[in-house]
Structure 1
Amino acid sequence: MDKAIIIENLSKMYKNNRGIHDINLEIDRGEIFGFLGPNGAGKTTTMKIMVGLMKADKGDVILNGYRISKDYEKAMKKVGCIVESVNPFSYLTAYENMKLCGRFNNDVDGARIDECLEITGLIKYKNEKIKHYSLGMKQRIGIAMAILSNPEVLILDEPLNGLDVEGMVEMRKLILNLSEQHKTTFFISSHLIHDIELTCNKVGILYNGKLLGVDSTHNILKNYSSLENYYLSEVI
């Protein structure tokens, strides 16, 4: 299988002795990978290193065949991401924010912006200012921005955070559709076990900065009644 993401011996330690230790991981193209762990486990640290927002102490990340340490621009060329939080300009409309986001990409025009807003269910509100958006709508505009350049890999930090039940269902559908129709590879961090179980076809558990187990959701559910039981068996 073609590997979309390879993480090699990734480590990063903070002064308080927290961080990530020797993470190794391979994700095939088109997979929806769930990075599961409690708050403070090191998920965001890993993702910041993956997209070049932080430097690792040791190890490297390969995205679409390019190392972020040597070929950062090529590695990130077909990658979309949301790390930590979505902060669109509140005084601009959704459409204006998207236009601003796409200004560095020659392939992004009005039609592509409308297409992304359609995919994320925001086309009706494209001329509404972001300050009037709910939290769920802000999460969706974040996804719309992340998919604007038609990326092959999407790295999303807690994309279901703050969404109501309806918003979560819509976000899950959106992720599954992009995976099926566009073969988009997803790397999704979350502490919401149920949503990871329903959305991802491969799961890795990060606990105290260490990657404890990686397996397909299918295999896990063959051996355990739920992802929650598997998680507890790994961490306790």
Structure 2
Amino acid sequence: MDKAIVIENLSKKYKNNRGIQDINLEIDRGEIFGFLGPNGAGKTTTMKIMVGLMKADKGDVRINGYSISNDYEQVMKNVGCIIESVTPFPYLTAYENMKLCGRFYDDVDDAKINKSLDITGLIKYRNEKIKNYSLGMKQRLGIAIATLSNPNIMILDEPFNGLDVEGMVEMRELIIFLSKQHKTTFFISSHLIHDIELTCDKVGILYHGKLLCVDSTQNILKSYSSLENYYLSEVDLNGDF
């Protein structure tokens, strides 16, 4: 099957000895991959390297066949991402924020902006200032901005963080919709096990900077009553380095 993302021997060590070690991972096109682990496990570090915000000590990431080290511009043409948090200008409307971000791309017009706002359920709030948006609406606006360039890969760092129950459900539905209808590949990090279980096709557990295991959600739930039980079992078996 066509691989959307290939991570090879990726390592990054900080002065405090934390970081990531020898991560190897392949993600198929159209798949929703969940990167699961506690805070400080190295999820954001991995994702920053994946989108070129940080350099790895060794290893490489290939997205759509292109290397992030050698073909950065080519890689990012087809990637939408939200790393750490969404920070739109609060005194501008959703439409104005989108218009501003659209300047970074060649062919973003009003029709494309409206399409992204429509897909994310924000079209009726397009002229409302962001300072009046709930956290869930801001997260959805982040995804709307990330879809402006029609990316076929979305890299989202903690997209469920800080959302209320309704916001979480909406975010899950939006990700699944984009995956099914638009064949978008998703790489999502989270420490919220329940949301990963309900959203992702495949799950990888990152613990103390090491990738413990990768399996399909379907396989996991054949052997375990929940993703949480699988996670605890894998950490118990492999987590003591």
TM-score by length of 2: 0.97
State the alpha-carbon separation in 1 of the partners of residues 116 and 75 from structure 2.
Answer: 23
Distance 2:59 2:86 in 1: 28
| Residue matched to 1:83 | 83
1:32-181 alignment, distance < 5 Å:
32-181=32-181
Residue of structure 1 equivalent to 2:9: 9
CA deviations 1:103-134 (Å, max 9, x no partner) are 12222110111111111111111111111111
Q: Which amino acid aligns with 1:59?
A: G
Task: Work out the number of aligned pairs and report it.
Answer: 236
Q: Output aligned runs, 1:177-188, within 5 Å.
A: 177-188=177-188
Which aligned segments of 4 or more residues in structure 1 are displaced greater than 2 angstroms?
Answer: none
- Distance in 1, matches of 2:133 and 2:228, equals 33
* 1-structure distance, mates of 2:214, 2:170: 26
CA distance in 1, matches of 2:78, 2:36: 24
Q: Following the alignment from structure 2 to structure 1, what is the Cα–Cα distance between the partners of residues 106 and 12?
A: 36
CA distance in 1, matches of 2:70, 2:190: 29
Which residue in the other structure is 2:209 paired with? 209
Distance in 2 (CA, whole Å) between partners of 1:105 and 1:148 is: 8
Structure 2 SS opposite 1:215:
strand
Which residues of structure 2 form unaligned runs of 5+?
Answer: 237-241
Measure the CA separation in 2 of the matches of 1:191 and 1:46. 15
Q: Percent identity of the aligned residues? A: 83
| Deviating more after overlay: 11-20 vs 120-129 | 120-129
TM-score w.r.t. the length of structure 1 is: 0.99
